A and B are shown apart, each in its own frame.
Chain A
Amino acid sequence: MTPFHPGDRVRVRPAEKPGHVRAPDYLKGRSGWISCVLGHFPNPEDLAYGLSGMPEKTLYRVSFRQSNLWDGYEGPDGDRLYADVYEHWLEPEGER
C-alpha cells in the first residue's frame, strides 16, 4: 500500500464492503487531500468481529471541500470537512 503524505490528493475507494465499515458512504468516490497522518491502529473493521486487527493500519485525516461533497452547499468555498480514513479505503487520485 502506497503511503500517503500531507498534501497528497486522494480518493476514497467507491467500494462496497459488508459489515462493520469505518468509511462513511457519503465520502465514497470523493476526492480530498491528506491533511495529516494520525497514526497506526489495529484495524477496527476486524476488531469488530473479535479478530486481532493486525497488522495495524495507517489512519489519515483527509480534508474535503464541502462544495465538492454536497449539491447546493450553503457556505463559502473555504468550508471543509475532515474525516479520519484508513489506508485501505484510500487510493491516489486519478488511479482506478
Chain B
Amino acid sequence: MSEVHPHEEVRPERSPYAARIRAMEALLVEKSVLTEAEIQDRIEYMDSRTPANGAKLVARAWTDPDFKERLLSDAKSAARELGLDATHEAELIVVENTPVVHNLIVCTLCSCYPRAVLGRPPDWYKSFEYRSRAVREPRAVMREFGFEPEEGIEVAVHDSTADARYMVLPMRPEGTKNMDEEELAALVTRDALIGVSAPQAPSRAS
C-alpha cells in the first residue's frame, strides 16, 4: 500500500468518512478491482442525473395521458422515450398522487433512491432522523417541509427496502392550464418527487 502523508491527504475540513472513502478508493485501484477511469465515469454518470430529469417526466405525464400510463406501468421504458437511460436501476416505479392518496418515499435501511433518474439524494434523505420519522410520523415530517395533504387524503409511505426505487408523480396544480411542458417542469421540485412537498402553482396569474 502506498504511504499516506497525513499533512497532504487529510485536510482539516475533510471528514473522517471522506478520508475513509479515499483510502478505500486507493486500495481498490491498487488491487485492480477498479480503475481511476471507471471511477471517473461513474462520477460523471451520477453528476449527469438531476431532479430536472424527474421534472421532465412529470411534466410530460401531465400533458400526455398516454405517456402517463406508460410511466406508471413501465417507468424505465417511459424514461427512455425522453432520452433518459435508467437501466442502472433494478426496478424503477413511479407512484401517482391522486385526490385520495399522497405518496412519500423513504429508505429506512440505507438511502435507496432513484439515482439513475434523479442523481444523488439530498443529505436529509440519508439522515437517521428522516429515515426513522418518515415511516412513523410522515404527516409531521411533511408539515416541517411546509406541506400538508388536504383533508381526506390518505398518506402512503413507500419504504424502498429492496430492489425497487420509487419516484412520486405529483398532482398537477390548479391554475396551470395555459402552461407548456417546460413551464410545468419548472414547478416540479426534487422534494415533490420524494413526496415531502407538492408542486405549487405560481402565486399570481401573469
User: Which residues of A line the B interface, CB within 8 A?
Assistant: 22-24, 26, 38-39, 41, 44, 59, 61, 66, 69-70, 73-76, 78-86
- In Å, the complex CA distance between A39 and B137 comes to 29
The 6 tightest CB contacts between A and B, nearest first, are A78-B154, A84-B162, A83-B159, A81-B157, A41-B163, A79-B155
Report if B26 contacts A (CB, 8 A).
no
Contact B161 A75 (CB under 8 A): no
B164 at interface by CB-CB < 8 Å: yes
Extra inter-chain contacts (10) besides given A24-B159, A38-B91, A41-B163, CB under 8 Å: A24-B161, A26-B135, A39-B91, A41-B90, A41-B162, A44-B163, A66-B157, A75-B154, A78-B154, A81-B135
CA distance A22 to B164 in the complex (A): 12
Chain A nearest Cβ from B139, distance in angstroms: 5
Instruction: Please tell me if the beta carbons of B159 and A82 are within 8 angstroms of each other in the complex.
Output: yes
**Interchain CB contact under 8 A, B162 and A80:** no
CB < 8 Å neighbour of B161 from A74, A78, A85: A85
List the A side residues contacting B108 at CB < 8 Å.
Answer: 24, 26
Interface SS majority for chain B: mixed
Interface residues of B in 97-117 (CB under 8 A from A): 108-109
13 intermolecular pairs with C-beta atoms under 8 Å apart: A23-B161, A24-B108, A24-B161, A44-B162, A66-B155, A69-B136, A70-B136, A75-B138, A75-B139, A75-B154, A79-B154, A84-B159, A85-B162
Q: List residues of chain B with CB under 8 Å of any chain A CB.
A: 90-91, 108-109, 135-140, 154-164
Given contact pairs A38-B91, A39-B91, A22 touches B162 in the complex (Cβ within 8 A):
yes
Nearest to B162 among chain A residues (CB) is: A84
Closest to A40 in B: B163
Contact check, A59 vs B162: say whether CB atoms are below 8 A apart.
Answer: yes
Residues of B within 8 A of A74 (CB): 137, 139-140
Hey, which chain B residues are within 8 Å of A81, CB to CB? 135, 156-157, 159
Distance A44 CA – B162 CA, assembled complex (angstroms): 8
Bound-complex Cα distance A74 to B149 (A) = 13
Q: Could you say which residues of chain B place their CB within 8 Å of the CB of A70?
A: 136-137
Q: Which residues of A contact B157 (CB under 8 A)?
A: 66, 79-82
